């Protein structure tokens, strides 16, 4: 679908030589790889390496953490985000797909009907032999939300550039902290010498 706010046209992107898709209807250009308006003047790798992409990723991660903390869920069939305010854990005919599922473990409702409570994940409180979820399960849920909020999988280039940037920032922070500590020590020693001279005089 065209990403222009004024166009509802859709088309398939079949040109494998470029990720740039030009709408046949309105000529709006979209990056088929990023599902984002075309990044004029930048290749996809340059776009992935840009500070704006790193900031977008970090915003998506923060949103994902919040959604995971607030117990939001993503429909296992259509990936629509769902937030339950009250009621039981059975999500029936909600979202674009109309499928039913368990709000806690995302087990499909048709499997629950067919197999009974054993269809729930062991980490679901509806499973007969409930086992509390591990930290890994929580991280996985956050990862699912990150992908949903970000709008797709995060580029390895973006992750690598962010990691390098964060290492550089950490090194700069440590150097700054070390310099500040040395300055304080020198000032303290200088003050001690001055105080010692004053008391001697």
Burial of 199 from C-beta contacts in 10 A (0-12 / 13-18 / 19+)? exposed
Residue 102's DSSP bridge partners are 90
Is residue 191 scored above 70 in pLDDT? yes
Question: pTM to 2 decimals?
Answer: 0.48
Mean pLDDT of the chain: 82
Q: What is the pLDDT of residue 188?
A: 82
pLDDT in tens, 143-181: 777 777 777 778 888 888 888 988 998 889 888 888 888
Please say whether the beta carbons of 47 and 39 come within 8 A: yes
Q: What is the pLDDT of residue 93?
A: 67
pLDDT in tens, 4-55: 888 888 888 888 888 899 998 999 999 888 888 898 899 888 988 888 888 8
Burial of 13 from C-beta contacts in 10 A (0-12 / 13-18 / 19+)? middle
User: Which residues 6+ apart lie within 8 Å of 153 measured at CB?
Assistant: 147
Percent of the chain scored above 90 by pLDDT? Answer: 6
Please say whether the beta carbons of 29 and 21 come within 8 A: yes
Q: What is the pLDDT of residue 95?
A: 61
Q: Which residue has the tokens 């909020």?
A: 149
Is residue 198 scored above 60 in pLDDT? no
């Amino acid at each position: 679908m065209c990403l222009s706010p004024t166009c509802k046209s859709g088309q398939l992107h079949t040109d494998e030589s470029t990720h740039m898709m030009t709408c046949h209807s309105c000529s709006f250009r979209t990056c088929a790889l990023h599902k984002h308006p075309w990044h004029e003047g930048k290749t996809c790798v340059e776009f992935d390496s840009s500070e704006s992409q790193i900031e977008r990723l970090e915003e998506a991660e923060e949103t994902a953490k919040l959604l995971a903390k607030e117990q939001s869920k993503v429909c296992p069939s259509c990936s629509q985000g769902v937030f339950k305010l009250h009621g039981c854990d059975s999500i029936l005919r909600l979202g674009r797909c109309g499928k039913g599922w368990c709000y806690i473990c995302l087990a499909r409702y048709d499997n629950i009907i067919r197999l009974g409570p054993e269809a729930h994940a062991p980490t679901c409180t509806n499973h007969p032999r409930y086992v509390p979820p591990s930290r890994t399960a929580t991280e996985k849920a956050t990862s699912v939300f990150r992908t949903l909020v970000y709008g797709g999988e995060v580029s390895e280039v973006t992750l690598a550039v962010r990691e390098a940037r964060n290492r550089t920032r950490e090194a700069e922070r440590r150097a700054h902290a070390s310099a500040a500590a040395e300055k304080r020590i020198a000032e303290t020693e200088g003050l001690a010498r001055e105080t010692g001279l004053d008391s001697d005089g």
